[in-house]
Amino acid sequence: MKILNAIIQNYKAIHRVEIFPSGNVTVISGNNASGKTSAIEAIITTLAGKDKDTKVPVRRGENGAIVEIDLGDYKVVRRISADGKDELNVLDKQGFVAKKPRTRLNELIDDRKFNVMTFVSGSPKEQRALLLDLAGLSFGEIDARKSEIYNERTIIGRERDSLKGQLDGLPVAPDAPKELIDTREIINEIQKNNEHNNQIKSAQLNLRTYKDKQVALEMEVKQLEEQLKMKKSQLAQLNETVAQMEATQKDVKLKDNTELENKLKNAEELNDKFRQNQKRAEVEKAYNAKVEEYNNKTKEYEEAEQEKIKMLKEAKFPIEGLSVTDDGVLYNGLPIEQESHSNRIKIALSIAMAMPSELRTIILDDAEIIDDENMKVIDQWAQENEYQIIIARRSEPADNVITIKEGSVV
């Protein structure tokens, strides 16, 4: 099935154009703003249903536009009013109108045949997108997941690097204790020793006092014999008390606080070192956790990439030798943009012809970059594959050239 003829009236820059393709290759020629592009667009948007913009494509000053395309087995009629109403009808040979015209056209036509110029003049990203679409591949979910994993890993990496900076700024204190020293315990022990020593000193003071009294009484005994009995009694009591006190203090010794005081003096310094090592251990633990988390995200990212690579390996592309990367399309392992124009045209035509479609027509819009030599290549391919190719480019008059000027065929 091919385009037998197309009648376009009042569509954008077109006044009225009748196109009757002849041979395998038909060229629609004309200068800029002559209506050449409008004619191609009218055919593509009618068959594929994709307008390039949201404006009503009706020639200024007219009430409406009409596009009629005869496909042989079917006739496609599109009417567009100036107020934006767009009506499409598909009729078979018997004149029966399809209930769902756009669905019927989609069954007959693969609209991607009209985008193959992307492989000739498009960007690597555009070429990649078209090829993935042809292969039925969609990496939107995987790429979104990869992007999310990458962003999460980036944040984790920053946190890891921050912790690494903290870790590097916390050197290990080699002589730090294994745990904090309890200075309160040392202070309490010193207080107990001081209380003990004060008791001893108080007892010694009392002893000296009693000894003084003893001496005084002995003197009084000598001087006051009349009070001898009473004094002897007192003396006996004092002797007994002194004996008891001496007995209890016989082996008592003062405790030395020097070592404890030195220990207390050094405790805070040692505790600072302990806290430093404890802080470093906490940071090191957090750092190691972030390293592990970062590595896990890297693994997730690589797994997503492997899933994508597996899908690409298993994909069936229209022609042998085509493959895609994140940056574009490869042909036999090399970027397709490195291929010559003629090779890219051959690839584009091969891709279009590999698309299953009842319509054996390929439309090459905005094809000014195709020179005369490449036109010969296109003509040969069209003949060999029994395809109809319609090309929009400026060309010299010929039997297969339809020239449009100011919206009409000349």
CB 115 within 8 A of CB 352: no
Has residue 380 been placed in a domain?
yes
Among 110-124, 132-146, 295-309, 330-344, the range with the most confident prediction by mean pLDDT is 295-309
On whether both 11 and 94 belong to a single domain, the answer is: yes
Residue 314 lies in a domain: no
Domain assignment present for 272: no
Among 236, 261, 286, give the residue marking a domain's end: 261
By C-alpha distance, which of 68, 119, 114, 113 is closest to 90? 68
Given 217, 240, 261, the domain boundary residue is 261
Q: How many domains does the chain have?
A: 2
Domain that residue 214 falls in? 183-261
Instruction: Using the predicted structure, report yes or no on whether residue 54 has a pLDDT greater than 60.
Output: no
User: Any idea what the CATH number is for the domain that residue 395 is in?
Assistant: 3.40.50.300
Residue in 348, 347, 382, 387 with CA at minimum distance from that of residue 365 = 348
At residue 373, the pLDDT reads 82
Asked if 10 and 99 sit in the same domain, the reply is: yes
Query: How would you class 332 by CB atoms within 10 Å of its CB: exposed for 0-12, middle for 13-18, buried for 19 or more?
Result: exposed
Classify strands 5-9 and 408-409 as parallel, antiparallel or unpaired. unpaired
Q: Confirm whether 234 is domain-assigned.
A: yes
Residue 52: what pLDDT?
59
Tell me if 298 is assigned to some domain.
no
Express each pLDDT in 298-356 by its tens digit.
Answer: 999 888 888 888 887 777 777 778 787 878 888 888 888 888 777 777 788 877 787 77
Residue (of 15, 17, 14) closest to 5 by Cα position:
17
pLDDT of amino acid 51: 61
Distances from the Cα of 332 to the Cαs of 94, 323, 329, 337, 347, in angstroms?
48, 8, 10, 12, 12
Q: Which residues contact 208 (CB under 8 A, 6 or more apart)?
A: none
Quote the strand ranges of 260-393, DSSP E: 322-324, 329-331, 334-335, 361-364, 388-392
Looking at 6-15, 25-34, 135-144, 205-214, which range is the least confident one? 135-144
Q: What is the pLDDT of residues 99-109, one digit of tens each?
A: 999 889 888 88
Section 158-181 average pLDDT: 87
Residue 253 in domain: yes
pLDDT tens sequence across 214-257: 888 788 767 767 766 777 787 888 888 888 888 888 877 888 88
Flag whether 177 is in a domain.
Answer: no
Tell which residue, 302, 318, 282, has the closest CA to residue 131.
Answer: 318
Scan for tokens 């002797």, then name that residue: 239
128 vs 353: CA distance, rounded Å: 18
Q: Among 209, 235, 261, which residue terminates a domain? A: 261
* pLDDT score of 227: 67
Is residue 138 in some structural domain?
no
